[in-house]
Amino acid sequence: MAGLIVALLVVCAGLVSAQEGGTPPAGLMSKLADTDFKTRQASQEALAEWGRTNLEAGISVFYATYREAEDPEVRARARALLRELVIFKQSGEGKGYLGIRMQAEELMLEGGRVRSVVRITDVMEGTPAQKAGLKAEDLIVGIDDLEVRREASLETFGEYVQSRKPRTDVTLHVLRNGKPTDVAVNLMRRPPDLEDRAFLWGGESYVPPAQDEVEEQEFREWLRQKRDQEKQAE
């Protein structure tokens, strides 16, 4: 059985090499069927690293292995690799996402001057905002070269974030405890079913699904579309 799995993995890699011009480093695919757990795990990690720099070839290799391998663990590892690459590819598409709730305010400065700000009222777990260290009660006065203005400040700020591509770096200009600081944030892909009102105007009724749940749903949809394409091609 092990010999059959190795042969299958070699054939899958060979097909992709001919079609896509890329194949995993020698021996890595066959090691997914190794009897030693650490060897299997190390091979999967190395394949994931290769796949991120050979995206289309990796997706083809891992999809073929996931569909054809008889060993349940090999299929599970191939699925995990395929899911990671599909999500990685999709994460660079769509609109940018920060992951905060916010409200517009006016800050009174010395001399009676007023400055428009966006107050962060909540930072969503597992989002770019949390990873960058943004906190509730931080006051946003600008993002990149865009200054927060009184007119439609929330809409303008939200539209700017969404206009940036996922995995793009933006710099938020923040007042924290009265002191200015710049916070660099690497945006992620905006969840497709996110309700704009909940995040632009501080609504409390909508709780977005966990990121892992969103990714699994998107991956299953990708698999469904892939299989539909294959049926149409038959």
CATH number at residue 194: 2.30.42.10
* pLDDT tens-digit series, residues 142-199: 999 998 887 667 888 989 999 998 888 999 999 999 899 999 999 988 876 665 444 4
Looking at the structure, tell me whether residues 196 and 117 fall in a common domain.
yes
Residues 6 and 41 in one domain: yes
Nearest to 132 by CA among 171, 165, 166: 171
The answer to whether residue 224 is domain-embedded is no
pLDDT of residue 7: 45
Q: Are 143 and 124 part of one and the same domain? A: yes
| Predicted local confidence at residue 149, as pLDDT | 80
Is pLDDT above 80 for 133? Answer: yes
Q: 139-155, pLDDT tens digit by residue? A: 999 999 998 887 667 88
Q: Do 59 and 140 reside in the same domain of the chain?
A: no
Q: Per the structure, how many domains does the chain have? A: 2
How far are the Cα atoms of 81, 102, 147 from residue 71, in angstroms, in the given order? 15, 49, 57
Is residue 207 very low, low, confident or very high in pLDDT (cuts 50, 70, 90)? Answer: low
Q: 9 with 55, same domain?
A: yes
Beta bridge partners, 188, equal: 97
Domain end marker among 90, 120, 145: 90
Lowest mean pLDDT: which of 2-16, 84-98, 189-203?
A: 2-16
Q: Return the half-sphere exposure (C-beta side, CA atoms, 13 A cut-off) of residue 175.
A: 16
pLDDT at 17 over 90: no
pTM of the model: 0.56
Neighbours of 234 (CB within 10 A): 4
Instruction: Report which of residues 35 and 213 the model is more confident about.
Output: 35
Average pLDDT value for the chain:
82
List, for residues 218-228, the tens digit of each pLDDT value. Answer: 899 999 999 99
- Does residue 86 sit in the same domain as residue 102? no
Give the list of residues 6+ apart from residue 184 with CB closer than 8 angstroms, or none: 132, 169, 170, 171, 172
Higher pLDDT, 212 or 202: 212
More confident position, 206 or 158: 158
Residue 198 is predicted with a pLDDT of: 45
Domain identity same for 112 and 198: yes
Both tokens of residue 192?
Answer: 């497709």
The DSSP bridge pattern shows strands 114-123 and 100-108 to be antiparallel
pLDDT at 203 over 60: no
What's the domain range around 9?
2-90
The answer to whether position 106 is within a domain reads yes
